[in-house]
Structure 1
């Protein structure tokens, strides 16, 4: 049967066929379908023409199906089931449905957002998360479907992007144990050091998307007409702490990451100067996926695990 032939078929006829084969009566089929007997009779006539078979034959007060009708019963029921599922609202069951999520993030995002939900994801073996590094064209990848979600520390401005704020993050300083700055009076008192105290030491600088001059810290330093000595510039949050263990370099990074590295590697963490401020951390996805139940399942799991209720 060609596509042209299919366009001439009224799918409602399959519904009528199903009612007739199950009730064995035009009257009862009409009642079930909330239709009239003449309308059901006309549909039966069209079905007989379509299948070139009587389908139902009068036998006393009942109508009995022909062999052709009995052969059609299962396929018609299956076809109607498929059609109903087509129009059923999309759902997602992580216990049985398979999904591979493509996420763009820094290693800080993996550490602070994805790592805490891995325990729950371990119970959903059909779920896979593939992480790509952040890039300047992530918004295009979201639009094309190459990415499902971006985890990022700056507010997305494009109107086609949806977002959820997870938490507000402070910046912290990290140095080796016994670093001279740990004897700074402010640091010893549990206060942030002055900006000049921080700038007295070389810095290991983490640059997202490779932009040394575009970071918030760099902009604040320019605003204050301050300069820092950059010892090493790199895009890796997780590797940067290794470079300060055997040197007097200082590292400024998000507080959540700083706490983990301080505990894991015996480093010293203290608050960064207030001028460096805070930033919000976001989940970002595209308008095309706003009705994707699988993606929203993941968003809700992340929010429930690491989201700050004050940011909801």
Structure 2
């Protein structure tokens, strides 16, 4: 079968970038916002793409735009091409933390990780890498898609919250046990808490970012009933226990760091099968070989090892 060759001189690389944004975002306005260009400029680019491909690319279906079959079939190959080009252009033989300037975007599942894990790194960067900046955001519902679109550099999440890690470069950072936390002067709890107390005392349930925290999902799967009175973000839960009869479940590392500040009593969970959380660092092939990214990942790995050894 004869293959029609395309004159590459007719193709502007920016057209491929725009094509990926248009098909991924399913709209001119969103694609323009993502690429930082005007809507009229993106409309003109769409017209050029339609002429180049002899295909509408996006067509209206009711109140929304959908990609044509041809555009859908080209999306992943175009992404792969752009990824290969980025890798070629981004290759650097060395990265010097003391002098080089870089900004890294990191999504973190919960603010408590920023406090207990990333904060020590931020303090050290002032000395070790004064021109390196970390842009830290809480995980959003579309974190997997944002990682795939290369809008973020690293994702730090519990293993069970990111099944996509199996097909992406990743590394285990550390594990963290769970403990039951209550006010230090809780009137009904001594040095231990029974299963019946855990199930019947007022319970403070937690969320991580926009999702239920992994421990709540675990407790549900184990069939553990709770007398839920309050639901709050994981990072502030410990500060709401003072002077109440409520209990909650926290990561041990966070709980230990706040035990005096929040006047906490920490207890072994009376629950069989409650597994510790395992935090992963996940990235994409695009940054796998970049020297600066390798440095950051190693720094995070070393820090995790230090924190584990300290506990």
TM-score by length of 1: 0.63
Worse overlay, 113-122 or 243-252: 113-122
Residue in 1 aligned with 2:140? Answer: 135
Q: Secondary structure at the match of 1:207?
A: strand
TM superposition shift of 1:240:
1.5
Per-residue CA deviations over 1:121-178 (Å, capped at 9, x if unaligned) read 1112101111111122212212222111111112443244211111111101111121
**Which consecutive unaligned segments of at least 5 residues does structure 1 have?**
5-85, 188-192
Q: Highest Rg: 1 or 2? A: 1
TM superposition shift of 1:101:
1.0
Any conservation in 2 of the 1:160–1:286 contact (CA below 8 Å)?
A: no
Equivalent of residue 107 in structure 1, options 108, 111, 120: 111
Residue in 2 aligned with 1:170? Answer: 177
Q: Secondary structure at the match of 1:252?
A: strand
Equivalent of residue 189 in structure 2, options 182, 185, 193: 182
Q: Secondary structure at the match of 2:225?
A: coil
Question: How many residues were matched structurally?
Answer: 218
Residue in 2 aligned with 1:301? Answer: 299
Per-residue CA deviations over 1:27-52 (Å, capped at 9, x if unaligned) read xxxxxxxxxxxxxxxxxxxxxxxxxx
> 1:294 and 1:274, CA in 2 relative to 1: closer, same or farther beyond 3 A?
farther
Any conservation in 1 of the 2:107–2:154 contact (CA below 8 Å)?
A: yes
Q: Secondary structure at the match of 1:183?
A: coil
Per-residue CA deviations over 1:261-308 (Å, capped at 9, x if unaligned) read 113222111222343221211111112111122122111112112227
Q: Distance in 2 between matches of 1:109 and 1:216?
A: 15
TM superposition shift of 1:104:
0.7
Q: Distance in 2 between matches of 1:99 and 1:283?
A: 19
Residue in 2 aligned with 1:269? Answer: 266
Is 2:126 the counterpart of 1:119? Answer: no
TM-score by length of 2: 0.63
Is 2:149 the counterpart of 1:152? Answer: no
Any conservation in 2 of the 1:100–1:128 contact (CA below 8 Å)?
A: yes
Q: Distance in 2 between matches of 1:222 and 1:180?
A: 30
TM superposition shift of 1:230:
1.5
Worse overlay, 275-284 or 265-274: 265-274
Is 2:101 the counterpart of 1:98? Answer: yes
> 1:208 and 1:137, CA in 2 relative to 1: closer, same or farther beyond 3 A?
same
Q: Distance in 2 between matches of 1:296 and 1:195?
A: 45
Per-residue CA deviations over 1:218-270 (Å, capped at 9, x if unaligned) read 4434543x421212212241x21221112111120110001111132221112
**Which consecutive unaligned segments of at least 5 residues does structure 2 have?**
1-8, 10-88
Residue in 2 aligned with 1:198? Answer: 198
Q: Distance in 2 between matches of 1:295 and 1:304?
A: 14
Residue in 1 aligned with 2:254? Answer: 257
Q: Distance in 1 between matches of 2:139 and 2:188?
A: 33
Q: Distance in 2 between matches of 1:134 and 1:88?
A: 28
